[in-house]
């Protein structure tokens, strides 16, 4: 996977690049401010952008919005030292494919990025739980449509937002991984989203998920 790293702290950035390269990722660029991050992302078109939220010139959330507007396929993962839930909600609603705290262990960080390459959200189960709890408290903002998910798809979606991988979902539901991938694809299509995190946000907004997740 080709990765662009954007962080204004050069020591952290250099360490992250070393970790990524040691894990077999192709780091195609590294930048230290928001303006440079937007330009590099649109010029290099990496598979993923690891983006610090606190950046000079343009903050990370604005960088995220600009990249997503110009290049909707971008997989942007936010990096932060803060566990501020407001930032988490804003990042996900702006289209972030992941949200990772900088205090993650190296092996956990690498596993999150490997999951991203498999189409999973780069987000720990603890962060996913906080996101679901916060969005549930906001309550449904849309009415159900004729294109609702089937009960099987809702069950699978509930497991997705709990952070289970395709393999774990397959085991839980006694299905093959290929069948799970097929269902995931159709869930994303029905909800009009591109990844698991966006699917969870949309499902909560239209009232498809129960509040006890």
Q: Are 9 and 101 contained in the same domain?
A: yes
Q: Is residue 7 in some structural domain? A: yes
Beta-strand ranges (E) seen in the chain are 2-6, 26-31, 48-52, 76-80, 98-101
**Average pLDDT taken over every residue of the chain:** 83
The predicted-structure confidence for 176-200, as pLDDT tens digits, reads as follows: 888 888 888 888 877 777 777 777 7
Please count the structural domains in the chain: 2
Within this chain, do residues 79 and 181 fall inside the same structural domain, yes or no? no
Q: What is the CATH number of the domain that holds 174?
A: 1.10.10.10
What CATH number should be reported for the domain holding residue 51? 3.40.50.2300
Rounded to whole angstroms, the Cα distance separating 58 from 73 reads 21
Q: How far is CA 124 from CA 80, 108, 119, 121, 164, in A?
A: 13, 9, 14, 9, 10
pLDDT at 207: 66
Residue 113 sits in the same domain as residue 197:
no
Same domain, 108 and 154: no
Last residue of a domain, one of 75, 97, 122: 122
Rounded to 10 deg, the angle between the 60-70 and 34-44 helix axes is 30
Query: Is the distance from CB of 208 to CB of 156 less than 8 angstroms?
Result: no
Q: pTM score > 0.75 for this model?
A: no
Q: Which residues lie across from 168 on neighbouring strands?
A: none
The reply to whether 142 and 114 lie within a common domain is no
Same-domain status, 8 and 102? yes
Q: Please indicate, yes or no, whether residues 197 and 149 belong to a single structural domain of this protein.
A: yes
- pLDDT mean over 5-24: 95
What pLDDT, in 10s, does the model give residues 58-72? 899 999 999 988 887
Identify the pLDDT of residue 184. 85
Mean pLDDT (whole number) for 17-44: 95
- Answer yes or no: is 40 within a domain: yes
* 74 and 28 within one domain: yes
Indicate if 105 and 161 belong to the same structural domain.
Answer: no
In this structure, the answer to whether residues 110 and 11 fall within a common structural domain is: yes
Domain that holds residue 23: 2-122
Instruction: Read off the pLDDT of each residue in 24-38 and give the average, rounded to a whole number.
Output: 95
Could you tell me the pLDDT band of residue 140, with boundaries at 50, 70 and 90?
very low
């Amino acid at each position: 996977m080709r990765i662009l790293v954007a962080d204004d702290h050069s020591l952290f950035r250099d360490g992250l690049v070393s970790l990524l390269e040691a894990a077999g990722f192709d780091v195609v660029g590294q930048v230290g401010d928001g303006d440079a991050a937007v330009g590099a992302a649109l010029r290099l078109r990496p598979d993923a952008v690891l983006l610090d939220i606190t950046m000079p010139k343009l903050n990370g959330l604005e960088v995220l919005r600009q990249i997503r507007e110009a290049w909707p396929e971008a997989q942007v993962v936010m990096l932060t030292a803060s566990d501020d839930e407001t930032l988490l909600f804003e990042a996900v609603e702006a289209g972030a494919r992941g949200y990772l705290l900088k205090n993650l262990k190296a092996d956990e960080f690498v596993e999150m990025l490997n999951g991203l390459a498999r189409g999973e959200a780069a987000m720990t189960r603890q962060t996913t739980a906080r996101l679901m709890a916060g969005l549930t408290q906001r309550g449904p903002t849309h009415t159900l449509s004729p294109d609702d998910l089937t009960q099987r798809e809702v069950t699978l979606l509930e497991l997705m937002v709990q952070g289970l991988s395709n393999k774990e979902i397959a085991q839980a539901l006694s299905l093959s991984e290929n069948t799970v991938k097929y269902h995931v694809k159709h869930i994303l299509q029905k909800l009009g989203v591109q990844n698991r995190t966006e699917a969870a946000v949309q499902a909560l907004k239209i009232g498809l998920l129960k509040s006890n997740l």
